[in-house]
Amino acid sequence: MKILYFKIRAVLVTWLMRLLPRNPPIVFKGVNSALTLCEQVAVLGYTKVIIATDNFLGGSGILDGIKATLTKQGVEYVVFDGILPDPAFDQVQEGEAMIRTQRCQAVIAVGGGSVLDAAKMMAMLHTNPGSLESFDGIQKCKRPGLPLFAIPTTAGTGSEITLAAVITDPVSHRKIPIVDSKMIPGYIALDAEIMKGMPPGITAATGMDALTHAVESYLSKASTSATEEHATAAVRLIFKYQLRAFKEGGDMEARDGMALAAFYAGAAFTRTSVGYVHGIAHQLGRLCGTPHGNANAMVLPEVLAAYGECVHQRLAKLADVAGIGEPGEGQASKAGKFIQAIVDMRKDMDLPLQPKDLKASDIPGIVDEAIAEAGSLYPVPRYMSEAELTTIVNGLRAA
């Protein structure tokens, strides 16, 4: 009976996601495109903005060029640098309070997925006052938010192009997915210059996050020819550039390629949702504080292997895209080689395989929440049993 409910829910979510209105953003790409984006702020007539970021970026010098460009264009700015990893709603409220008291007309988000998610919600909360619970779900915002300009500093989350944000309840620590087409930023800069200083560990984790988005989107039952085009482009770019970006942060071609890969992966999964990898990863973040990209990397190949035969054809196609396998090789063999390539990439980048402080007593709750999340939100290739998911999560303690 539960599986039937999940299947009906998946059909409804799929069609709702396809019917949501979307205004495509204007995208600037290339070295110093972030400065071009800031020039557009003035062209569009905004005279005072808030720069939403985190404490590290706020003091790192990365904002210097952005600030200087805004000043040169006659745009006043204030900086809110109180956004933390896995942002909680109280941080969103603090940021919105600064928007209100400083009378800002637009939001410039500079940072990784946490910053972009929080900035989306700051912009929406300003025009849609309410509690976090009032945003929980799909298309709950009645009015458009403040104009939002996004400058991602990591190549992973794709949050700059998605219609979703994940915000943590500061009391229960539950991660609440908020989906609304009005949250897609209006202007985006994919600037490799800003990303070149990303440390290797973050480069590794965010790259695996982008790969997870692309693969889970491609396997989704909600996939379309358009999302498949974006997902395969992301996979192609990631297998070409991820290790290069990890090993040599100043490789601007690799940085530029990974920025585009994350963007394509985000464009794909924002229309298809994801799958059990994210269902598990969200719980690891909630319980163990595991960074999202790391959490995805811990279980991506294991979940793909557990799906079994039903994904072999699709994974074989991704293997072809990534240049893995031999001509004429069987689908199951190619699928296995694709999964092994992800394991090898994870190992080459020395990504952690175990969450900190994961207890045996946590596992049933993680499994239950992953089942509920996937069943309610994700059109997965097939629904896994409690036993299958328990085996995957148990493996994190023995890795």
* CATH number for 380: 1.20.1090.10
Lowest mean pLDDT among 99-108, 135-144, 305-314: 135-144
Q: Is 230 strand, coil or helix?
A: helix
CA distance 357 to 187: 40
Exposure b/e, 150-183, CB count within 10 A at least 16 = b: bbbbbbbbbbbbbbbbbbbbeeeeebbbbbbbbb
User: Does residue 67 fall inside a structural domain?
Assistant: yes
pLDDT value at residue 1: 59
Q: Are residues 243 and 131 in the same domain?
A: no
**Average of pLDDT values for 84-101?**
95
User: Does residue 6 fall inside a structural domain?
Assistant: no
pLDDT value at residue 8: 74
What is the residue range of 303's domain? 200-398
pLDDT 10s digits, 343-377: 999 999 999 999 998 999 999 999 999 999 998 88
CA distance 239 to 163: 26
pTM: 0.92
* Domain CATH code at residue 70: 3.40.50.1970
Q: Are residues 237 and 298 in the same domain?
A: yes
CA distance 281 to 285: 6
Q: Are residues 142 and 260 in the same domain?
A: no
pLDDT 10s digits, 7-39: 777 777 676 666 666 678 999 999 999 999 999
pLDDT value at residue 399: 56
pLDDT 10s digits, 110-152: 999 999 999 999 999 999 999 998 998 888 999 999 999 999 9
User: Does residue 377 fall inside a structural domain?
Assistant: yes
Q: Are residues 293 and 354 in the same domain?
A: yes
Q: Are residues 55 and 177 in the same domain?
A: yes
The answer to whether 284 and 302 are in contact (CB under 8 A) is: no
Q: Are residues 96 and 175 in the same domain?
A: yes
pLDDT 10s digits, 217-275: 999 999 999 999 999 999 999 999 999 999 999 999 999 999 999 999 999 999 999 99
Q: What's the number of domains the chain is made of? A: 2
Q: Is the pLDDT of residue 154 over 80?
A: yes
Q: Is 343 strand, coil or helix?
A: helix
Among 169, 195, 221, residue at a domain's last position: 195
Q: Are residues 169 and 87 in the same domain?
A: yes
Percentage, residues of the chain above pLDDT 70: 97
